[in-house]
Amino acid sequence: MNAAARKIQSTYLILTLGNTLAASFIWGINTLFLLDAGLNNFEAFAANAFFTAGMVLFEVPTGVVADSWGRRVSFLLGTVTLAGSTYLYYLLWQLSAPFWWWAAVSALLGLGFTFFSGAVEAWLVDALHFSGYEGGLEAVLGRGQIVSGIAMLAGSVAGGVIAQATNLGVPFLLRVAVLVAMFVVAFVLMHDVGFTPERSAHPLQATRAVLKASVDGGLGNPPVRFMMLAAPFTEGVGFYVFYALQPYLLQLFGDPRAYAVAGLAAAIVAAAEIVGGWLAPVVRKQVRRRTTILIASTVTSSVVLMVLLATHSFWLALVLLVVWAVVASAGTPVRQAYLNDMIASKQRATVLSFASLMGSSGGVVVQPLLGRSADIYGYPASLAIGGVVQLLAAPFIMLSRRRRSPADAATGAAAAP
């Protein structure tokens, strides 16, 4: 890695660290926060579903912003939007607002995150190509996941401890403060490199043109299309499991107000991200095809979720959840590298946003359904059902594999198509 590429990587890691730290302050206590505000399980997960619905609704428009106005502009808009909507969440909690207010603000939170999704990753990949980096994308993306895991571990544990020492609203205020600081950091450090935004005097025409090219490069590209079709099952279940872990572990632990234990749920995922980020490039060197890793990751993590149905021990459940999280996390950088090596630079942010949209659409449907199953059958059964749903992604990954894209066996940073 040359000096220019190292500088790009450093900026990417700083942005990842700050953003994840801000977001993770509430990840360990979000479901408890919603339940404390007076929502039941169905309403709490329905509110989360509106968050993912917001991501579905705004993914492509914000991806077009990133490709038409610049990835830096998109990132800055994301920090402002997410800070404002997080503060509104805090106000709703104070007011014990009715469900539909939570639904509306959850959708705004989704808007905030869509400004980040696609834009940061596209900025990184294009800047690395421009700098002459010739290594594998898994290495850099894996480092990003390690940094993200460290930030998430610190933020989620701190959020749970702070909530227990103060109240459930304070972590939300901390998120707002860090996001404001990240706006300043990104304004100074983040500049579009290796990419020139295509601004037009006719923004609607530019939006339609970029969107059409992005759909062609996404759904119109068979190996990319099948990966997109797998995403609703894997990401929809992932959304649910992450938020269901909080009340599930508290239930097994036997103390409904042990918020630090709820923070432990997010900490498990965070630590798994660190291990998974380290494992991804190591495993990739040993396995010729990326889809082999993705299929193994999907099947293994699904089976672990099913086994939780027969688990009644808090500590055994922790071990199984660690296995689930590590296996799922190890596949994430591989999936990112696989997709990026099949996407053209010009529409990279929008296509990645479209791929994220497909995953979020699964969360819109899966979260409330599994939340309802938790109300009726309990959390262990809902997690096992989630494992069955996630298995439906494996055939689509197999179909992507059968297309034999050069990206499946690529070992270096592929030139932008």
| 256 token code pair | 């409904």
Lowest mean pLDDT among 27-31, 35-39, 252-256, 411-415: 411-415
**What is the distance between the alpha carbons of residues 163 and 159, in angstroms, rounded to a whole number?**
6
> Which of 316, 320, 299 is CA-nearest to residue 392?
299
At 91-112, the pLDDT tens digits run 999 998 999 999 999 999 999 9
Q: Express the helix, strand and coil content of the chain in percent, nearest 5 each.
A: 80, 0, 20
Q: DSSP string of 153-198?
A: HHHHHHHHHHHHHS-TTHHHHHHHHHHHHHHHHHHHH----S----
**What is the distance between the alpha carbons of residues 224 and 124, in angstroms, rounded to a whole number?**
20
pLDDT, average across residues 42-61: 81
At 154-187, the pLDDT tens digits run 888 888 889 888 999 999 999 999 999 999 999 9
Is residue 25 within 8 Å of 161, Cβ to Cβ?
no
**What is the distance between the alpha carbons of residues 106 and 85, in angstroms, rounded to a whole number?**
8
- Residue carrying the six token digits 């409330």: 368
Does the structure show a pLDDT above 90 at 263? no
Name the more confident of 334 and 415: 334
pLDDT, position 16: 92
pLDDT, position 217: 66
**What is the distance between the alpha carbons of residues 382 and 48, in angstroms, rounded to a whole number?**
16
By three-state DSSP, how is residue 311 classified?
A: coil
> Angle at Cα 51 formed by Cα 45 and Cα 55, nearest 5°?
140
Q: DSSP string of 242-262?
A: HHHHHHHHHHHHT-TT-HHHH
**What is the distance between the alpha carbons of residues 131 and 306, in angstroms, rounded to a whole number?**
45
Could you tell me the pLDDT band of residue 415, with boundaries at 50, 70 and 90? very low
In the chain, what is the straight-line distance between the N-terminal and C-terminal CA atoms, in Å? 22
Alpha carbon of 269 to those of 156, 172, 239, 274, 402: distances in Å? 10, 20, 12, 9, 31
State the average pLDDT for the chain.
84
Could you tell me the pLDDT band of residue 356, with boundaries at 50, 70 and 90? confident
With a CB cutoff of 8 Å and minimum separation 6, the contacts of 183 are 76, 79, 80, 83
Lowest mean pLDDT among 30-39, 175-184, 385-394: 30-39
Does the structure show a pLDDT above 80 at 349? no
pLDDT, position 107: 93
Name the more confident of 270 and 7: 7
With a CB cutoff of 8 Å and minimum separation 6, the contacts of 332 are 145, 273, 276, 280
pLDDT, position 399: 93
pLDDT, average across residues 369-390: 90
pLDDT, position 337: 85
Q: DSSP string of 26-75?
A: TTTTHHHHHHHTT--HHHHHHHHHHHHHHHHHHHHHHHHHHHHH-HHHHH
pLDDT, position 44: 85
pLDDT, position 259: 67
Could you tell me the pLDDT band of residue 369, with boundaries at 50, 70 and 90? confident
pLDDT, position 80: 95
Could you tell me the pLDDT band of residue 416, with boundaries at 50, 70 and 90? very low
> Which of 344, 348, 341, 338 is CA-nearest to residue 122?
348
Is residue 279 within 8 Å of 400, Cβ to Cβ?
no
pLDDT, position 398: 94
Helix 290-307 vs helix 259-286: angle between axes, to the nearest 10 degrees?
150
Provide the percentage of residues in the chain whose pLDDT is more than 90.
Answer: 28
